[in-house]
A = this chain, B = another copy of it.
Amino acid sequence: MRNPQLNGDGELQHLLTLEGLPAPVIDRILDTALPFVSIAERDVKKVPLLRGKTVFNLFFENSTRTRTTFEIAAKRLSADVINLNIGVSSTSKGETLLDTIDNLVAMNADMFVVRHAQSGAAHLIAQHLSATERPHIHVINAGDGRHAHPTQGLLDLFTIRHYKKEFHGLTVAIVGDLLHSRVARSLIHGLTTLGTTEVRVIGPQTLLPAAVESMGVRVFHDMRAGLGGADVVVMLRLQSERMKGALLPSAGEYFKHYGLTVEKLALAKPDAIVMHPGPMNRGVEIDSAVADGAHSVILPQVTFGIAVRMAVMSMLAAN
A interface residues with partner B (beta carbon < 8 Å): 40-46, 51-54, 62, 64-65, 68-69, 71-72, 75-76, 80, 82, 84-86, 88-90, 93-96, 99-100, 102-108, 240, 278-282, 299-303, 305-306
Beta-carbon nearest neighbor of A105 in chain B:
B299
Contact among B46, B54, B68 with A107 in the assembled complex (CB-CB below 8 Å): B68
User: Complex Cα distance A282/B100, Å?
Assistant: 13
User: Complex Cα distance A19/B64, Å?
Assistant: 34
- Among A89, A104, A300: residue with most chain B CB under 10 A: A89
Chain B residue numbers with a CB within 8 Å of A85 are: 64
User: Complex Cα distance A278/B90, Å?
Assistant: 9
Contact among B51, B88, B105, B108 with A64 in the assembled complex (CB-CB below 8 Å): B88
Q: Determine how many copies of this chain the complex contains.
A: 3
Chain B residue numbers with a CB within 8 Å of A64 are: 84-86, 88-90
User: Complex Cα distance A102/B282, Å?
Assistant: 14
Nearest chain B CB to A111's CB is how many angstroms away?
A: 13
Chain B residue numbers with a CB within 8 Å of A282 are: 96, 99
- Among A41, A102, A107, A300: residue with most chain B CB under 10 A: A107
Given that A94-B279, A279-B93 are known contacts, is A306 also in contact with B71, CB under 8 Å in the complex? no
Chain B residue numbers with a CB within 8 Å of A84 are: 64, 68
| B302–A106 touching, CB < 8 Å | yes
| A76–B72 touching, CB < 8 Å | no
| B90–A80 touching, CB < 8 Å | no
Given that A82-B71, A107-B306, A303-B107 are known contacts, is A52 also in contact with B62, CB under 8 Å in the complex? no
| B95–A279 touching, CB < 8 Å | yes
Contact among B76, B102, B107 with A80 in the assembled complex (CB-CB below 8 Å): B76
User: Complex Cα distance A10/B279, Å?
Assistant: 37
| A108–B52 touching, CB < 8 Å | no
Given that A52-B46, A68-B84 are known contacts, is A106 also in contact with B280, CB under 8 Å in the complex? no
- Among A43, A64, A240: residue with most chain B CB under 10 A: A64
User: Complex Cα distance A75/B106, Å?
Assistant: 16
User: Complex Cα distance A54/B76, Å?
Assistant: 9
